[in-house]
């Protein structure tokens, strides 16, 4: 949005002049993508915009650019022209004609600062500037020169000196350029200036490192250009996997990435090494990341990497081509806009795939390694840079001022640059070749598993293969649900919406809610065990690196998630086998699932536990040091009676590898597991594979487990521990003062957020006391009717009975009605708190997403200025109370119809995604989740269309807004004197800019 002092200085004239200057037809491009008739679209555009007058006095202020390529300085024409851009209607693919008449705000505008690029040097330009509109005209660049890139192409921008600015802007620019963080630091070896800057703040918890190289965008307009693009993709993929493997071996990292992206927004290409790490070991992390990047730049990739990542790139391209017209229109528009803005040739997925195949067939190892050397040159040359070598455009580190133990973090610009330079000079060796398996099991093992599964299935009668009521109607949505011989449940759905793509969700009932409750499961063990599972990945006899590359070959993504009520392992993959041979994506994913579930197959590693513990500790510390995280933790602690299973907690340092393995594997007993398989495959084949790999899993046995015990998937689920529903009579309920929490977090920005939370049904409409929402509504209506009859007329046995509407009997009714209610409440909060009372720009209402646990909670969050936080909180409370009171301001028909459109359209759009089907079908076979049913996907729209305003009013009675049943928290940040001791520029730049900030959601999934 901008700096606060700037926003406060705007006048009505400023805003109207800005709109008049820029929001006009001759300064716009209109993109239309979809199932439309081009001629009709052109006619409609002409009808809508053809008569809109163009203000010549405004247009003349904007110099014409010859084409989009001049955004990067390579299109000719510069910015010196004075012609008024013309309005062009795009028809029959004449995109270039439309672009050629536009002018770029990145090139010249009195409303935006100039774009002053500091290229990464070497074969690229050192600096570049763009013309700037000043108060009395256009400032032209003084000189222009060009250089040549390493691949023999003219760069997309020439070397230009900075233009003259207006007096006020020149003063600001001069002050900014003289700030310490902008002034270059002399390299410790060669004294070449390098822009290295360290930013420290007491609110930061981790160390982050960013090494940038800015380069001109190189348009992709020929096969040779595309070939270069493909080689970059191969080199980047190889380097990223190396970094991922290194991050697992080096527990100092929580994230590390190297990327090269064309940015139309920034008018350049950015090559960046980004990393977050433990602040106490920042030097080790920087050395490791720089060393690995330098290895790639020095020695390149191996032959096996070339084969592996070339085939992965082809597979990815093939997936997009197979999707064809199924690609979302919004994604197509975004791709089209970015492609044209970067002056690339726009290709549909089929054409891009054909070009990619041709490029892959033509590249050699030497070709790719030359490209890899160019990508990493700014790191390779950093050991002893000269004025003729490639150097980073900037090196930036962000660090806390102290560690969690209070030890100060001492780091400055010179030390940061010295550590990077030393790492760039360390001795390195080439990457060794690595054997990657074609499959995780050989044919003999697979045959043995199939025989085991068949034997186990034959030993159990059909009557013993229990299937929950929710899964018995799976055929209504074209799915197959079954219970295997070992008790595992499998749901298979063939879906061609995502061509050649598949997804699997493995669900183990339990989650954090059983920590410290189930025998043998220590507090925090499930959460830490799930993270250890994610950090690991070795399956004997294969190492973690080999398994990871096995997944890379097949583009398999695996994610482990631990929630309050379940442990999830999600897989996404292409279904065809890779061109290099071996099993296809579906079978590979099921092999991984088998290895995870089978006792003794997954290798629980101590270093994976160390990384998991470090990651969770950093996540917890980050949460509690943020205003939003600290507020929500305090709120949940009070609302949920201090129960740590539902809060962010630091991992217990006493938990051992055996503790976390026992916790996870106890949940992974076959009869507590459900596997949902959705995708573009033959259902018979998928079912056969699932029978073999999932049906052969043996149970995990410990002294605490019993094969006769009812699995958590079918057992009565526990209730959410709301403080006012506690059975502990000796524990006093929180007082009114204890239910209104206040906290302050020291920060440079004065901000505030308020929360309100209370009890609610779970997503399936089950209350904390175990009653179904519909039954509770009927009971309340009957009680109200009885009270009315007793006090007046018509009492006794002659009183009419409550007639239950047929729609209420549908198992999906509560789920759909609650989704509609959430949308209605959000719209009312927007209308009242933001529009009418003008206390905030952001107020949200969310229901927790529990399916198994009885009951849940709602959370209202509202951001405001510190002065308005209490008023905004009360406005939210008043809004909820008014909605729940029929005599005040209940939901209206318009509220419901608007919400209905949003909820139904979102559901219909999501039905195209495999992941959505997995999410909706997950838990359908569990008796402990009676509200999850296959009928939901079949009847969602019909049920949503039948919900009435009266239904919402009745349900609102169970969104508990009673003062003694709710907890509120007002959190603020800032200091007593925000600008004390700061320069005017520092004070202005440090003022409250809330744009882009978000709070941590209480939603668990």
Q: What is the mean pLDDT of the chain?
A: 82
Residue 791, pLDDT score:
56
Residue 468, pLDDT score:
73
Is pLDDT larger for residue 281 or for residue 931? 281
Residue 746, pLDDT score:
80
CA 896/CA 949 separation, integer angstroms: 7
Average the pLDDT over 98-103 and give the result.
38
Whether 828 shows a pLDDT value over 60: the answer reads yes
* Preceding peptide of 541 cis, ω within 30°: yes
Q: How confident is the model at residue 169 (pLDDT cuts 50, 70, 90)?
A: very low
Is pLDDT larger for residue 159 or for residue 43? 43
Give, in degrees to the nearest 5, the angle at Cα 74 between 102 and 25: 5
Which tens digits make up the pLDDT trace of 573-622?
999 887 777 899 999 999 999 999 999 999 999 989 998 998 898 888 88
Residue 888, pLDDT score:
77
Which tokens go with 355? 């070009």
CA 219/CA 228 separation, integer angstroms: 11
Residue 929, pLDDT score:
85
Average the pLDDT over 85-93 and give the result.
34
Is pLDDT larger for residue 995 or for residue 374? 374
Average the pLDDT over 953-969 and give the result.
93
CA 548/CA 550 separation, integer angstroms: 5
Residue 995, pLDDT score:
29
Give, in degrees to the nearest 5, the angle at Cα 645 between 641 and 649: 105
Q: What are phi and psi of 577, to 5 degrees?
A: -70, 155
Residue showing tokens 């107020």: 843
CA 17/CA 979 separation, integer angstroms: 32
Range 904-907 contact pairs with CB under 8 angstroms and sequence separation of 24 or more? 904/940, 904/941, 904/944, 904/945, 907/940, 907/941, 907/944
CA neighbor of 281 nearest in space, from 160, 390, 403, 102: 403
CA 509/CA 667 separation, integer angstroms: 7
Q: How confident is the model at residue 426 (pLDDT cuts 50, 70, 90)?
A: very high
SS (H, E, C) 163-210: CCCCHHHHHHHHHHHCCCCCCCEECCCCCCEECEEEEEECCCCCEEEE
What lies within 8 Å, CB to CB, of 541 at 6+ separation is none
Which tokens go with 165? 């600015």
Which tens digits make up the pLDDT trace of 791-800?
555 544 554 5
Contact between residue 621 and residue 473 where contact means Cβ atoms under 8 Å apart = no
Residue 516, pLDDT score:
87
Residue 206, pLDDT score:
87
Q: What is the DSSP string of 578-594?
A: PTT-S--HHHHHHHHHH
Helix (H, G, I), strand (E, B) or coil at 863: strand
CA 351/CA 339 separation, integer angstroms: 15
Residue 159, pLDDT score:
29
SS (H, E, C) 261-293: EEECCCCEEEEEEEEEECHHHHHHHHHHHHHHH
Which tens digits make up the pLDDT trace of 472-493?
888 889 999 999 999 999 999 9
SS (H, E, C) 443-490: HHHHHHHHHHHHHHHHCCCHHHCCCCHHHCCHHHHCEEEEECCCCCEE
Residue 165, pLDDT score:
39
pTM of the model as a whole? 0.81
Ramachandran category for residue 230: left, alpha or beta (phi over 0 → left; psi -120 to 50 → alpha): alpha
What is the arrangement of strands in the sheet containing 856-864, beginning at the earlier edge strand?
A: 740-745, 966-973, 751-760, 856-864, 842-847
Contact between residue 692 and residue 707 where contact means Cβ atoms under 8 Å apart = no
Strands 394-400 and 196-201: parallel
Average the pLDDT over 157-186 and give the result.
49
Contact between residue 607 and residue 251 where contact means Cβ atoms under 8 Å apart = yes
For the packed helices 303-323 and 544-553, what is the interaxial angle rounded to 10 degrees?
Answer: 40
CA 564/CA 552 separation, integer angstroms: 31
Which tokens go with 547? 């398994």
Whether 55 shows a pLDDT value over 90: the answer reads no
- Tell me which of 395-409, 546-560, 713-727, 965-979 is least confident: 965-979
Looking at the chain, the number of H-run helices and the number of E-run strands are: 30, 24
CA 602/CA 599 separation, integer angstroms: 7
Residue 2, pLDDT score:
61
Whether 656 shows a pLDDT value over 60: the answer reads yes
956-987: buried (b, 16+ CB within 10 Å) or exposed (e) per residue? bebbbbeeebbbbbbbbbbeeeeeeeeeeeeb
Q: How confident is the model at residue 295 (pLDDT cuts 50, 70, 90)?
A: very high
Q: What is the DSSP string of 822-852?
A: HHHHHHHHIIIIIIIS---SEEEEEE---SS
Which tens digits make up the pLDDT trace of 622-655?
888 889 999 999 999 999 988 989 988 899 999 9
Which tens digits make up the pLDDT trace of 343-379?
899 998 899 999 999 999 999 999 999 999 999 999 9
- Tell me which of 253-267, 559-573, 855-869 is least confident: 253-267
Q: How confident is the model at residue 679 (pLDDT cuts 50, 70, 90)?
A: very high
* Element containing residue 679 per DSSP (H, E): strand 673-679
| CA dist 249 → 557, 606, 611 (Å) | 20, 11, 9
CA 930/CA 717 separation, integer angstroms: 11
Residue 931, pLDDT score:
80
Which tokens go with 864? 């405001």
* Element containing residue 864 per DSSP (H, E): strand 856-864
CA 720/CA 643 separation, integer angstroms: 10
Residue 178, pLDDT score:
54
Residue 204, pLDDT score:
85
């Amino acid at each position: 949005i901008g700096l606060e002092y700037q926003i406060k200085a705007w006048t009505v004239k400023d805003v109207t002049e800005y709109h008049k200057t820029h929001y006009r037809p001759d300064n716009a491009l209109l993109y239309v993508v979809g199932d439309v008739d081009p001629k009709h679209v052109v006619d409609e555009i002409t009808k809508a915009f053809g008569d809109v007058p163009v203000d010549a006095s405004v247009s003349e202020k904007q110099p014409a650019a010859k084409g989009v390529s001049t955004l990067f300085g390579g299109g000719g024409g510069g910015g010196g022209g004075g012609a008024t851009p013309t309005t062009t209607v795009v028809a029959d693919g004449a995109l270039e004609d439309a672009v050629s008449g536009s002018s770029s705000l990145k090139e010249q505008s009195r409303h935006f600062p100039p774009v002053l690029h500091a290229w990464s040097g070497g074969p690229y330009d050192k600096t570049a500037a763009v013309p700037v509109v000043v108060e009395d005209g256009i400032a032209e660049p003084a000189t222009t020169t060009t250089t040549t890139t390493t691949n023999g192409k003219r760069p997309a921008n020439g070397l230009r000196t900075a233009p003259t600015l207006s007096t006020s802007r020149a003063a600001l620019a001069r002050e900014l350029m003289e700030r310490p963080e902008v002034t270059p630091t002399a390299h410790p070896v060669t004294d070449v200036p390098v822009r290295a800057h360290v930013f420290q703040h007491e609110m930061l918890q981790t160390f982050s490192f960013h090494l940038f190289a800015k380069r001109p965008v190189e348009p992709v307009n020929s096969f040779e250009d595309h070939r270069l693009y493909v080689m970059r993709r191969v080199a980047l993929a190889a380097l990223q996997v190396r970094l991922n493997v290194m991050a697992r071996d080096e527990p100092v990292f929580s994230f590390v990435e190297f990327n090269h992206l064309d940015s139309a927004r920034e008018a350049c290409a950015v090559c960046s090494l980004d990393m977050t790490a433990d602040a106490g070991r920042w030097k080790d992390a920087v050395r490791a990341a720089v060393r690995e990047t330098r290895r790639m730049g020095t020695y390149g990739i191996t032959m096996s990497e070339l084969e592996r990542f070339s085939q992965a790139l082809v597979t990815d391209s093939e997936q997009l081509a197979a999707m064809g017209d199924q690609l979302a229109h919004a994604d197509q528009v975004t791709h089209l806009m970015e492609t044209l803005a970067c002056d690339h040739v726009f290709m549909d997925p089929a054409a891009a795939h054909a070009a990619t195949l041709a490029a892959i067939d033509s590249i050699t190892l030497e070709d790719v390694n030359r490209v890899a050397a160019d990508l990493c040159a700014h790191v390779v040359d950093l050991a002893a840079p000269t004025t003729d070598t490639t150097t980073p455009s900037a090196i930036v580190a962000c660090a806390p001022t102290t560690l969690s133990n209070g030890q100060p973090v001492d780091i400055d610009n010179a030390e940061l640059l010295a550590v990077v330079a030393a790492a760039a000079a360390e001795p390195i060796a080439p990457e060794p070749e690595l054997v990657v398996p074609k499959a995780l099991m050989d044919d003999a093992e697979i045959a043995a598993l199939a025989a085991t599964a068949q034997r186990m299935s034959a030993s159990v009668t059909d009557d013993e293969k229990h299937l929950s009521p929710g899964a018995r109607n799976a055929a209504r949505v074209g799915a197959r649900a079954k219970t295997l011989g070992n008790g595992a449940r499998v749901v298979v759905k063939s879906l061609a919406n995502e061509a050649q793509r598949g997804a699997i969700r493995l669900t183990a009932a339990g989650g954090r809610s059983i920590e410290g409750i189930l025998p043998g499961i220590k507090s925090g063990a499930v959460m830490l065990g799930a993270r250890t599972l994610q950090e690991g990945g070795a399956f004997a006899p294969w190492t973690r690196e080999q398994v990871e590359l096995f997944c890379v070959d097949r583009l398999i993504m695996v994610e482990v998630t631990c929630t309050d009520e379940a442990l999830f392992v999600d897989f996404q993959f292409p279904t065809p086998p890779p061109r290099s041979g071996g099993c296809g994506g579906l079978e590979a994913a099921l092999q991984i699932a088998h290895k995870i579930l089978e006792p003794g197959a997954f290798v629980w590693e101590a270093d994976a536990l160390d990384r998991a513990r470090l990651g969770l500790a950093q996540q917890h510390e980050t949460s509690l040091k943020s205003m939003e995280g600290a507020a929500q933790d305090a709120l949940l602690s009070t609302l949920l009676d201090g129960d740590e299973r539902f809060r962010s907690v630091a991992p217990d340092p006493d938990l051992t590898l055996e503790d976390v393995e026992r916790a996870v594997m106890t949940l992974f007993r076959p009869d507590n597991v459900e596997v949902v398989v959705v995708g573009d495959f033959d259902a018979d084949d998928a079912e056969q594979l699932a029978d073999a790999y999932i049906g052969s899993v043996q149970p995990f046995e410990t002294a605490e487990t019993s094969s006769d015990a009812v699995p958590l998937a079918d057992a009565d689920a526990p209730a959410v521990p709301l403080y006012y529903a506690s059975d502990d009579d000796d524990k006093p309920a929180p007082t009114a003062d204890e239910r209104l929490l206040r906290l302050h977090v020291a920060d440079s920005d004065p901000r505030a957020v308020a929360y309100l939370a209370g009890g609610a049904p779970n997503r399936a409409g089950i209350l904390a006391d175990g009653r179904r929402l519909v039954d509770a509504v009927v009971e309340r209506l009957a009680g109200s009717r009885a009270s009315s009859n007793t006090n007046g007329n018509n009492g006794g046995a002659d009183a009419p009975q409550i007639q239950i509407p047929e729609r209420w009997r549908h198992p999906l009714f509560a789920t759909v009605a609650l989704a509609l209610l959430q949308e209605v409440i959000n719209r009312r909060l927007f209308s009242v708190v933001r529009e009418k009372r003008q206390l905030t720009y952001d107020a949200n209402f969310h229901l927790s997403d529990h399916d198994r646990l009885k009951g849940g909670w709602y959370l209202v969050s509202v951001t405001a200025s510190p002065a308005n936080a209490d008023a905004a909180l009360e406005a939210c409370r008043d809004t909820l109370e008014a909605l729940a009171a029929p005599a005040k301001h209940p939901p209206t028909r318009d509220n419901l119809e608007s919400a209905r459109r949003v909820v139904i359209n979102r559901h219909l759009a999501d039905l195209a995604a495999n992941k959505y089907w997995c999410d909706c079908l997950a838990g359908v076979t569990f008796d402990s989740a009676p509200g999850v049913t296959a009928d939901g996907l079949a009847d969602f729209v019909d049920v949503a269309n039948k919900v009435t305003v009266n239904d919402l009013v009745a349900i609102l009675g169970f969104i508990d807004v009673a003062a003694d049943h709710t907890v509120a928290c007002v959190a603020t940040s800032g200091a007593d004197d925000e600008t004390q001791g700061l320069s005017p520029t520092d004070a202005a730049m440090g003022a409250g800019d809330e744009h882009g900030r978000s709070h941590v959601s209480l939603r668990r999934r």
